[in-house]
Amino acid sequence: MRVIFLGPPGSGKGTQAKRLQQTQSIPQVSTGDLLRKAVREGTALGREAKGYMDAGGLVPDRLVIDLLLERIGESDCSHGFILDGFPRTVAQAEALEEALQARSKPIDAVVNFEIDPAKLVERLVGRRVCPQGHGEWHVQFNPPRSEGHCDVCGAALIQREDDHEDRIRARMEAYRKDTEPLIGYYRQRGLLHDVDALAAMEAVAGQIEAAVTGGH
Ligand code: AMP
């Protein structure tokens, strides 16, 4: 099963992707995570991407597309994947469609996380992440078991550089301008399933399962 999660920053894509990867046994592929890893490792790609990311803008298509296509060509993606944060532009969507068509492995479903933009800032400023990439929590809506520490490795949780309010506004603007057109793109192809991203986490998970397993 090949699924895309589409939605603005802070709409819960990452959290839900982690759940779905367990129930469906397919990997979550997050271009944000791949880029942050490249930044941590100081690769040429990471050095080029960092400025765009810290400012809350999009990393250029030519960098992100290659990174993503390489990742989904790895063996653990052969039975499917959940794309979390890709595509973010029409050019990315077209490149993905072309590559998957060539492999005769098209996208099965696109889940559109619908949410009131006013709620997003609140969600993002309270987000805390594990510096080792084990996941994310929220100080109010999804606190870790031990305050301020990762449930998996115990490391002190941190606030992402781009989760500060001014950067959040820039990311929202990038979403509105570059990513929102993908809603029409995938609706036209009959692939889009809307979910109410403001519902309780369990309810959102239920809507997603129904959408991707054809029960909706
Ligand atoms: P995320 O973790 O998905 O919020 O991504 C964090 C940052 O990585 C974004 O604000 C962008 O700067 C960059 N990024 C992640 N995915 C993409 C993408 N598909 N296209 C362009 N930039 C991306």
Q: Which two tokens stand for residue 37?
A: 């890893």
Ligand 1, atom 15: nearest CA belongs to which residue? 32
The pLDDT score that the predictor gives to residue 215 is 58
Please give the pLDDT value at position 166.
87
- The one-digit pLDDT tens for each residue of the chain (216 residues) are 999 999 999 899 999 999 999 999 999 999 999 999 999 999 999 999 999 998 889 999 999 999 999 999 999 999 999 999 999 999 999 999 999 999 899 999 999 999 987 788 888 899 999 998 888 899 998 899 999 999 999 999 999 888 988 889 899 999 999 999 999 999 999 999 999 999 988 999 999 999 998 754
Pocket of ligand 1 (CB under 6 A): 9, 30-32, 35, 52-53, 56-59, 64, 85-86, 88, 92, 162, 171
User: Would you call 2 a catalytic residue per the annotation?
Assistant: no
Determine the Cα–Cα distance for residues 150 and 194; give it in Å rounded to an integer: 31
How confident is the model at residue 7, as a pLDDT?
95
What is this structure's pTM? 0.90
Instruction: Tell me the per-residue pLDDT of 76-92, one tens digit each, with 9 for 90 and over.
Output: 999 999 999 999 999 99
Pick the residue whose CA is nearest to atom 2 on ligand 1.
Answer: 32
Catalytic residue among 13, 71, 123, 167: 13
Following DSSP, what letter does each residue of 49-90 receive, concatenated?
Answer: HHHHHHHT-PPPHHHHHHHHHHHHTSGGGTT-EEEES---SH
Tell me if residue 88 is catalytic. yes
Closest to 50 in 3D by CA, of 37, 62, 61: 37
Distance of CA 58 to the CA centre of its chain: 13
For residue 87, the CA-to-ligand 1 centroid distance in Å is 9
Rounded to whole angstroms, the Cα distance separating 111 from 82 reads 10
Distance of CA 161 from the midpoint of ligand 1 (Å)? 13
The angle subtended at Cα 136 by Cα 201 and Cα 43, nearest 5°, is 140
Atom of ligand 1 nearest to the CA of 57: 12
How many alpha carbons lie under 13 Å from residue 214 in its C-beta half-sphere?
3
At residue 79's C-alpha, the angle toward residues 77 and 83, to 5°, is: 50
For 101-131, the DSSP string reads HHTT----EEEEEE--HHHHHHHHHTEEE-T
Confidence (pLDDT) at 99: 96
